[in-house]
Structure 1
Amino acid sequence: MDCMKGFHQNGFKPNFLKLLRIICHMGIYEYTRMPFGIKNAPAHFQRMMETIFLDEIPEGWMVLYIDDIIIYAETWEDHVQYIDRVASKCTPINLKISLEKCNFGQKELLALGHKVLGLSLAIDQNKVAAVLQKPVPRNIKEMQYFLGFASYYRNHVKHFAHMTSSLYKLCSKDVVF
């Protein structure tokens, strides 16, 4: 499930509005909703979602990631019940869900670069294909990008630290690439 226009559903306390004023030739404008691009917006929105679903998260059938809600259940009946519980939390506070972006009753899904199937987690093969098509890193920045991407999947690679130690050495200041 995906919250519709996630950050824009999140209002501000009045004393915070003045911090996001925009002054231009047409006047002074204030955001009344959280705009995209503010440094701490994702953390604030995540905290808001965790507060809303404080009772549901410990039960273990829900995962929240910013404006995405992943619900998993062993039976269709439980799945429908959990969806209803999420909806019952969203409705009173006017938190809107984008039905166009929702997928219900899926056996597997792609989330955050992973393929989730039941209780197993695998690397999204589209991400692997994208890396294989990239040229070999030619400088420190490109190597850092590659290592950052690879590190995201380190739990899927046995002896990752050992395998990448020589690549990390290439990122030090004294090394000529």
Structure 2
Amino acid sequence: MKTQNRHMLRWQIAIQEYRGNINIVSKAGNIHKNADGLSRWELPNTSENPAYVPTKKDFKDASLANSLDDIRKTSYDNERFHLFDGILHHRSKNTCGMVLCSRMLINTILLEFHDNIYSGHLSKDRKMERIKTCAQWPSQRTDVMECCHSCDRCQKAHKATGKRFGLMIHIQEPLTPWEVAHMDWVTALPPGGNKSYNACLVIVDRYSKNPIFLPCHKDDTAMDTALVSLEVYFTYPNRPQLSSK
């Protein structure tokens, strides 16, 4: 299957887990009427529903259960913490998510929003935006980054494709003026002077940072540049041992 975009790529990666056990059949839009969201079975609204787990955890914590009465008396507009259906929520600027304290629930949320077949292994920024709308806890961003960095599939898919960085080598500093000089060209200048110069050769002493500006032409050859630079070098007592561009 040819991948058209990143959304299709995430689905393609998730479907690979079930290769050999499923048969993918393409259907036209007017034939495919059973949408995925409408075909799912709803969870029973009983105590076995996983949505009731945070409520049970909150009431088992004695210190948190004693503070719920004070939160109930507080107006929603005054504080960032509020109770909705018996679950403590934290309100920020644009989101409102339930507060989690149990490490087991935090790991479950991280698993569902990253490794689930409906999540698609999102990046840490997009994963953080989705989790904020559902749950919040201390050190949330750190946990999300550790979850993404520890995912073997994400590390293989987002590996660096550029060249490796070279080893850092200490560059010896010059001890006298004009021992080392740097050269570069400034082009795309308007023509000027008797010879209609349209470029400038810049020579900088690395020791004193003293610059020299020489008019030249954009199409000058290496020989022309060498002759111009030699005229400058011979005017100084210390001739450069190294010239770099």
Pair in the same fold by TM > 0.5:
no
TM-score (norm 1): 0.23
TM-score (norm 2): 0.18
Which entry has the higher C-alpha Rg, 1 or 2? 2
